[in-house]
Amino acid sequence: MEDDPFIKHYTYDLSPELITCLNDKPPLEEKTILEWPELGKIIFKKPKLTVINNYLIKPLEETQSFAELPSVPVIVDNINKFVLHERLTSTVKNHVSQFELEVLSIITNYHDFDYSERNFDNAEYLRYCYCLHAINHVLKSRKIVLANDIKKNSNEDELRDQGLTRPKVIILVPFKDSAYRIINMMINFMSRSENFNVVHKNRFLEEFTGEELAMPKKNPKPEDYEKTFAGNIDDAFRIGMAVTKSSLKLYEDFYTSDIIIASPLGLRMIIGAEGESSRDYDFLSSVEILIFDQAEIFLMQNWDHVLHIMNHFNIQPKEAHGTDLQRVRSWSINGLSKHYRQTIMISSCKLPNLIAILKNRCLNYGGSVSVVNPIVTGTISHVVCRLQQFYHKIITKTPTESITQRFQYFTNKVLTQIRASNEKHVMIYVPSYFDFVCIRNYFKTEDYSFVQISEYTKPGKVARARDLFYHGECQILLYSERYHFYNRTRIRGIQNIVFYQLPTIAGFYSELCNSIVENDSINQTITALYSNYDSCMLTSIVGTQRAKYMLSSEQKIHMFHSGT
């Protein structure tokens, strides 16, 4: 048991120096860069202490470090090296891939984990790893509590083994289909036990399956669209789960649940807003593992929901909720739960919003591991049309200033050039709806010939806008990223594209560029605006080396040729 990372992590007593270090802005960190066989280049960060005293590791051996990166696992290892609960050792596959071994060796040691290379090939492997980790964590917690229940009857003191509320694991996913796959995987982990029962399974199957999108056979959607929107894509759900000796209870009240799986919207509806009488967020007070999967899709839903949820984690509860305070861990009572919470962030691309969550709202004393493999070519290499692509760098000092500077550059330089050249069939692609509204209002004020398509445009108006744009009866199509994400409509008649900001999902760049029909008699161009704060998106599109040069160069305009 002493070698169990679960025991090491949750019986560790933080020193005042370590708490101070964790709360510093920015915190002092030690960095280690390693190369692993499957994950590739990883960076391990842990708090850097300026003062170390004798009781730094109070309940453990004083020679141990408070945050150690596991050694790289080799393929001859098997899954039992991860100190699984006995109920899992006989039900999970013994031999796993090298990729799964490496992921499990990180997350089972309770490091924060940032993985931004999720794709449809490794999605199930990643889901397998974090589902196994979550169930293993809950079963171990339950085992210790039950063992201490017996000791309590023997009048043994200081049996501190739980948090202020029961929920230990929160998994945030965008759609019901994702939750369906997660719960099915957890059921498979536990179902081989004798007399195992899933409570409310029929209700679960009824509510989390069906309602699939009908994919068109004529003009089919891209393959990644069909895979993303497979199954039930309802984005307003939440479900509590309680793990017992012989059952998995679904639809449990949150305060009797061990695991909660929800969408950001589903959880936001429970948390509520300031001033609402029915709001409730005490159940987030003692969360020990927080998992984001398909995190980039949250930006296509409503990122404010995620930020609102993050503001309510590990806050001391307002009510007792039947908790035996004599059994609550001392660090939980002292309001230090945020330093013990592990966060696992899984996405298909590295994005500043996700990085900000990990940097500003995750304070795990166990450190963090990030996969940071360089991108060799980027999605620009998938552009096959003959196009000149101009990248305009906007010089700005702060993220807030970049909003104003981008708009001024766009109106003074880009739009002026479009109007002077009398270009038609110009699509302006806008990721942020806030920017979309600002540009739309400006177009109306300056009497531009334009049509608009956003996520709020009714189908009839979309059809009319597409028709007017295709036949050249208007000069500009103002087009939002969210509409493209949810519909992936092929817009006909595009001759020039202006990316007001680089796409959040890099694949959209090449997809839209390739939708241009080549015409030798027309000068077809791509114009993209970027600043230093778009480095993640720029890297995904042009590659790591090119992005570094473009961001550091004094040259303000860079040109690429494709299809030659």
Domain ranges of the chain: 5-371, 379-562
Alpha-helical segments (H) within 92-236: 98-107, 123-153, 176-190, 201-208, 223-228
Q: Where is 171: in which H helix or E strand?
A: strand 169-172
Residue 44 backbone phi and psi in degrees, to 5: -105, 125
Note the pLDDT tens digit of each residue in 493-532.
Answer: 999 999 999 999 999 999 999 999 877 667 889 999 999 9
pLDDT mean over 151-173? 84
Q: Is the peptide bond before 26 cis (omega within 30 degrees of 0)?
A: yes
d(CA 541, CA 378): 4
d(CA 489, CA 483): 9
The better pLDDT of the pair 123, 149 is held by 123
For tokens 């995190």, name the residue: 295
Question: Global pTM?
Answer: 0.94
pLDDT value, residue 3: 79
Q: What percent of the chain has pLDDT over 90?
A: 71
Q: Strand 496-499 vs strand 557-562: parallel, antiparallel, or unpaired?
A: unpaired
Of the given ranges (286-290, 422-426, 552-556), which has the lowest mean pLDDT?
Answer: 422-426
pLDDT mean over 1-22? 84
Contact predicate 17/50, CB 8 Å = yes
Q: In this model, does residue 470 exceed pLDDT 60?
A: yes
Handedness of CA 21, 22, 27, 32 (dihedral sign): positive
d(CA 47, CA 24): 10
| Topology of the domain covering 379-562 | Rossmann fold (3.40.50)
Strand partners, 392: 529, 557
For tokens 């594209």, name the residue: 497
pLDDT mean over 24-44? 90
Report the Cα 143 to chain-centroid distance in Å.
Answer: 31
Q: What percent of the chain has pLDDT over 70?
A: 94
**Residue among 349, 324, 340, 310 at smallest CA distance from 67:** 340
Contact predicate 66/12, CB 8 Å = yes
pLDDT value, residue 252: 96
d(CA 256, CA 148): 19
Note the pLDDT tens digit of each residue in 402-411.
Answer: 999 999 999 9
Q: In this model, does residue 399 exceed pLDDT 70?
A: yes
Fold match between domain 5-371 and domain 379-562: yes
Strand partners, 16: none
- Read off the pLDDT band of 61 (50, 70, 90): very low
Q: In this model, does residue 463 exceed pLDDT 70?
A: yes
pLDDT mean over 58-74? 59
**Domain 5-371 homologous superfamily, CATH:** P-loop containing nucleotide triphosphate hydrolases (3.40.50.300)
Q: In this model, does residue 468 exceed pLDDT 90?
A: yes
Residue ranges of E strands in 431-534: 450-453, 476-480, 496-499, 525-530
pLDDT value, residue 288: 97
pLDDT mean over 277-298? 95
**Residue among 1, 78, 37, 10 at smallest CA distance from 339:** 10
C-beta atoms surrounding 378 within 10 Å: 20
Note the pLDDT tens digit of each residue in 88-113.
Answer: 887 777 778 899 999 999 999 999 99
